[in-house]
Amino acid sequence: MMPKVPAFPPNLDFTGHSILVTGANSGLGFASALHYLQLKASTLYLLVRSLEKGEQAKKELLADPLVQKNNPKADIHIYQVDLASLDSLRSFSKKFFNEVQALNVAVLNAGVGYFNYNPTIDKMESTFQVNYLSNAILTSYLVPILKQSALTTGRPSHLTIVSSMMQNRTSFGENTIPQSESVFDWFNDPKNMGVSRYGQSKILATAYANEAASRVDPAQVVVNSMCPGFVKTGFDVNSPGFIKYPMKILRSLLARSTEEGARAIVLATITGPEGSGKFFTDGAVTPPASFLLTSEGQKFQKRMWDETQERLRAVDLNLPVLEISN
């Protein structure tokens, strides 16, 4: 059995905070949004693929008895974005930053898991684009507004990428991608697709969060990643039957509730500056994939960062560049 996630600090209160959650209409995203509202978050931005499902989630969130009792004036805004589309990300960013001037917390929760090569409209492998590249793009878009909000409030803002301990269940290492080959090209080559792809994408997500954290003053923005644990969600919907149905049984017997998994997410977004660049599990700092702790892993992390920055410029020339913090 997994350890219990600690309860929230007794005086935790998000009054006056504006919070963004991706993948917010169901599962961990919805449960995280509910926690923030129950803890009196003033403004919530739900990022969803379907506006219809987003509006339904909004109704359900506002109908929650504890929200109605403690936070009846909560303001919820729905934004449509498909993380499997670069055009959708560009459209979202233009609309969001024309309308929003402050943001205190960003939870990049949305993710997918495919076992077969499934290209996006941008001709990239879906798990790589959604779980890694789109979170890298959102990080670059969101850090400046998080930083500005910190300067206004005098307290650190937070950006947390929801990763996974599955990064430890993969053989990904220093010899996986030859030095002569592009990281992006390797991940988007069908011959390299396999059952470890989800865990591989989460290694990249944690590595990117770590590298971004080194480029942002933690007194302004705390950047980290975390694992919510084995949770009762419908995440296995894209898995083949021989995996989907056994996982459904295992989740029903062993997995924690979405409430508890989401509690772990929220706890990762309330750390002090010392939590920046860390990986959290069950509400505590935990070592990430062992590969990332080696000298070769650190070299790969920087190589991946540099290549990603080149690709991001091609996505949007106006994307902010995160420089090394002093």
Q: Are 214 and 276 in contact (CB under 8 A)?
A: no
Nearest Cα residue to 156 out of 165, 145, 164, 147: 147
- 326 in a structural domain: no
* Domain, as residue range, for 92: 18-315
- Over residues 292-303, the pLDDT tens digits come to 999 999 999 999
- Over residues 257-295, the pLDDT tens digits come to 889 999 999 999 999 999 999 999 999 999 999 999 999
Catalytic pick among 36, 114, 198, 208: 198
Non-local (6+) Cβ contacts of 190 within 8 A are: 117, 125
CATH of residue 39's domain is: 3.40.50.720
**Rounded Cα distance, 60 and 122, in Å:** 34
- 207 in a structural domain: yes
**Rounded Cα distance, 285 and 278, in Å:** 6
Q: Are 193 and 116 in contact (CB under 8 A)?
A: yes
Percent of the chain with pLDDT over 90: 78
If one counts the domains in the chain, the total is: 1
- 197 in a structural domain: yes
- 3 in a structural domain: no
For the chain, give the mean pLDDT. Answer: 91
- 157 in a structural domain: yes
- 235 in a structural domain: yes
Question: What pLDDT score does 245 carry?
Answer: 45
- 7 in a structural domain: no
Task: Give catalytic status of residue 208 as yes or no.
Answer: no
**Rounded Cα distance, 268 and 296, in Å:** 27
How far from chain centre, in Å, is Cα 267? Answer: 14
- 160 in a structural domain: yes
Question: Which of the two residues, 73 and 236, has the higher pLDDT score?
Answer: 73
Q: Are 172 and 296 in contact (CB under 8 A)?
A: no
**Rounded Cα distance, 239 and 235, in Å:** 9
- Over residues 162-209, the pLDDT tens digits come to 999 889 888 788 778 988 899 999 999 999 998 889 999 999 999 999
